Structure 1
C-alpha cells in the first residue's frame, strides 16, 4: 500500500513536556483522514511537524514513499502540503486576492499583476465551489468566507495534501454544512485531506479513517465504517463519556436578570437588539438560540457594559445597571465567559496564574495600596487550577501555551470562583472536545443548582437543547418565542431561528 503521507515514530519535545511520543500516521491518497484527540493531546503539534513549523527530535516523514526533510513551510508547500490553520493567518486590510498571492505574486515586469491574480483566484474558487469575491476586503467578510480564503491560499500554491486544523470550531451550523461539501469536492478533484478535529459527528459524516492520539501517544487507526461515536470518544479520553447531560429538574426562584425593551445599535446606528425583553430567574439556565448575527453579541455586550444601550433597561436583582461601567457591572454580581477567549477572555502573554485574577487583582489579598501580592495571586491560581482541572505545566506558564480546552477551564474557574448571581456563558464549549464539554456543562448545571441564574448563548443546538431549562429564540434582535426544551425539536427551533413564527403571526419579516 502506497501512502501519500507517512509520519513514522515521530517524537516532539518542548521544555518539560513530550508533545508527540512515537506517533505514526499514514494517509492514503484520496481519503479524508481524521486526527482525533482531546484538547492538548498533541494533534496540532504533529501537523505543525508535517508542515515544517516544528522539527521532530526523532522519526521520519515520507511523501509519496520518498523520505523528506521538511525544515520550513516553504518546503512543505513545494511538496504539495498546505495547511489551513485554526486561527487564520490573514491580513485584515488586504483584499482576498492580495492575501492569497502574498509571497507568491504574479509579476508583470516589475509590478504585481493583480488583474491576472484575481482571474486565477476566481477560476480556482469556481472549480472547487468556494464562491469568494476576489476583490472583497478580509475585514468585510464573514469568518466562514475567511476560511475559504485560507483554503484558496493552499490551492493557489498547488497543494495536493491539505491539513485542516479544527476547521469547524469557528463556523455556524450552515457554514459547517457548506465546508463539508467543499471537503467532498476537494476529494473528488483528487486531493487528500487530514482533518484535525474532536467533533465525532463530523468524523462519522465525512471521514474514511481516523487516527486517535491521547496525551501525546498514538492509540491506533480505525476505519470509520467499523466504529461509532461512543467507541471513538472512549478511545480519545480513555474512559466512557456521557453525551447526555444529567440534571435534576430546575426549581427557579426570583428574577435575577430583567431586560425590558432593550435597543442596542451598531456603529452604523442600525438596531442589532430591537425592543428585546427577557428575564432569568435564580436556579435556571436560559439558553438563547439563534443564527449568528441576530444580536447575540450586542446583547451580551449591553448587559456587561461593553456596548452602549440606546434605550430600555437592564436590571440585576432589581438594580438598574444600564450603561454602568463594566467593572461596576461585574461587581453587582455578573460573571462573563466571553465568546472569544483569546480576544476578551485572557491576556495570552500573561501567565495562567495572573489571568486567574483579572477580575479581582485590585482587591485584597491580591493587592494592597496598588501593590500586587504575587504569593496570594499564585496561591489562588494553584487552587483554581486543581479545582477546575486546568492542565498546564505550571501556574507561571503563559496562557498562550495552553490548549483551547484548558484556556476555557481557566476562564470558567476565574468567573465561577467569584460566585456571581448571573453567569453569562457565551459559546462556552466552542472548539472543545467531548471530555471538556462534559466538564463545562456539569459546571454550568452546578451553578444553576447552587441557585444562580445562567444565561447560555450558543450556536450548537444540541448544547442549547441539552443544558437549558428554557430556550429563548432570538431573530433580528428580538426574542420571538420562549420554548421548553423537553417539548420542542431541533427542526422547530430551526424554523423559529429563521423567523417563521413571526411571519406566521402576520408580522412583517
Structure 2
C-alpha cells in the first residue's frame, strides 16, 4: 500500500453562518484514482479548492507527503505539485495551445515548455498541435490541454472536476484510459464526478460526502450504483423512460438551416427536422458536430445564412432576436450556465427576475420592484432546491455549478414555455438534481410544450427522448423513434463524421 501523498486532515470551512465543510478527512495515494462523490452543495468543490490553494481552511490543514503545508493561492499549490482541471475550462480561446501552456507556466522559456509538452503529450497519447488556436479545439481536446497544462507545471497530484460532463461515450472512455495511465505513471488522481459508473469502473477508492461531511470511504468492489445512490442522497433514486402520452401537431420546424462554422468548428449545413408539441426531441452526436451552432441558432444568437425556422403561430422567426423569441414562448437552458445563463456579478434575485422584467410583472428596469423580485426568487429557491444561497442579494457567480443550473432552470420555468431548448441540462448535476431537471422537462412536454434536448450524454438522450435525431457533420443524418437501439444510434453518430 502506497503512503498518502496528499491529505486534507480534519478540515472545516464556513462562509458566514453556512458551514460548507465539517471536520473532513480525505487522502489520495500515489498511483491511485480516488473518486469523490456527493450531491451539489455537499462540499466537494470547497474541499478541492482548499486542496489546490484557492481557499484556506478555518480548521485543519493540508499535508503533502506527510508534511503540513500552507498555501495562499493556486501558484503555491502548483509549486507543491498540486494541479486542478476545473469543470469550466480556464483557457484563452485566441491563444494557441502552446501559448496557453506558457501562460500557466510563467518564467520558463517557450521552447523548453514546447519540448516538455510534446514529450508528455506523446506519453499520454494526446494528439495536440501546439500551434493551433485554442478556440478551434473541441471540448475533449480542450480538456486534454488543461491536463497537459498541469502536468507541464509538474503536478503529481491531479484533481479532475467532472471530467466527462460534456464528453461523448467514446471520448469519456478515452479519458478514463488517460486517467488510469496517469495513475500508472505514479500520479495521485482525484476524480470528482456525479457519474456512478465511472467511480465504480475506474477508481481504486471512493469517498462520499453529504452536507459538508465525509459519509463513507469505500472501494468499488463493495459497492453498486444503488448502494452509492443511497449513500449520496440518503434514498434510492431510479429513473425510467416515461413516453409522452399525447403528441400534438408540429410546433417548430427547421428547414435547410445553415450556420457558418466558427474558429475551425463545423457549422450547420442544411438542418431539417421538426418537433411536435408534447414530445421531447433528443439531438445526439459526438461533440463538435454542430451542437453549439444548433443551440445558438434556435436561441437567435447565431448568424443564420440560409433556411427557415417556423414557429407555430409566428411564421418564420429566423430574424427574430432572442428577446422576441422569449416573448413568443421560447425558454433556453444553455450549455454554459455561467457564460450564457447567468450574469455572475449580478445578484441571484436580479438573475431570476429577468423574465419578469421583460414581461413587465416587476415594473421594468426603470421602476424595478425589488421587494417583489426578492420574494419570488426566494420561493423559486425553495421550489427548485437551490442550495448555498446566502440571501437573494448574493452574487449568482458564487453558486456552485449545479446550483447555478438550478437557478437558470427555475427562471426558465417561471412561466410554462411553449418551446424549451435544453442543451446538456444535467451537466455537472448530482443524481437527485439531475432527476429533478428531467422531471421538469417531462412536465413541460406533458403540458404540450415542444422540448429540444441537445446532449452528448447518451444515457440522458435515451432516458428522455420520444424521438432521437443524430447530428453529424453539421447535418441531421438519422432519426429514430423511441425506444431506439443504442448501437444503431451510436453507429449513426460515427459513420457520418
* TM-score, length-scaled by structure 2: 0.93
Distance 2:116 2:379 in 1: 56
Secondary structure in 1 aligned to 2:7? strand
The change in CA–CA distance for 1:37 and 1:255 in structure 2 (over 3 A counts) is same
Secondary structure in 1 aligned to 2:165? coil
* TM-score, length-scaled by structure 1: 0.91
Number of corresponding residues = 494
Q: Which residue of 2 aligns with 1:255?
A: 250
Q: Which residue of 2 aligns with 1:313?
A: 308
1:140 paired residue among 136, 141, 144: 136
Distance 1:54 1:105 in 2: 22
Distance 1:51 1:300 in 2: 34
Distance 1:148 1:299 in 2: 25
1:413 paired residue among 410, 414, 439: 410
Range that drifts further, 402-411 or 208-217 = 402-411
Distance 2:406 2:262 in 1: 33
Q: Which residue of 2 aligns with 1:54?
A: 55
Distance 1:223 1:268 in 2: 43
Q: Which residue of 1 aligns with 2:34?
A: 33
Q: Which residue of 2 aligns with 1:20?
A: 21
The aligned runs of 1:105-504 (5 Å cut-off) are: 105=106, 113-245=109-241, 247=242, 249-266=244-261, 272-320=267-315, 321-368=317-364, 370-391=366-387, 392-486=389-483, 488-499=484-495
For the 8 Å contact 1:82–1:162, the answer to whether it is kept is: yes
How far did 1:452 drift? 1.6
How far did 1:127 drift? 2.3
How far did 1:239 drift? 1.3
Distance 2:95 2:475 in 1: 35
For the 8 Å contact 1:362–1:370, the answer to whether it is kept is: no
The change in CA–CA distance for 1:477 and 1:160 in structure 2 (over 3 A counts) is closer
Distance 2:489 2:265 in 1: 26
Distance 1:263 1:363 in 2: 31
Query: Structure 1 unaligned runs (5+)?
Result: 108-112, 501-508
The change in CA–CA distance for 1:306 and 1:220 in structure 2 (over 3 A counts) is same
RMSD of Structure 2 on Structure 1 (CA): 2.2
Distance 1:102 1:296 in 2: 29
The change in CA–CA distance for 1:237 and 1:188 in structure 2 (over 3 A counts) is same
Residues 229-260 of structure 1 show CA distances to partners (whole Å, capped at 9, x for unaligned) of: 11111111111111424x35431112211222
Distance 1:199 1:13 in 2: 27
Secondary structure in 1 aligned to 2:171? helix
The change in CA–CA distance for 1:94 and 1:311 in structure 2 (over 3 A counts) is closer
How far did 1:39 drift? 1.4
Query: Structure 2 unaligned runs (5+)?
Result: none
For the 8 Å contact 2:96–2:134, the answer to whether it is kept is: yes
How far did 1:270 drift? 9.6
Distance 1:462 1:368 in 2: 41
How far did 1:207 drift? 0.2
For the 8 Å contact 2:244–2:278, the answer to whether it is kept is: no
Structure label with greater radius of gyration: 1
Range that drifts further, 269-278 or 395-404 = 269-278
How far did 1:436 drift? 0.8
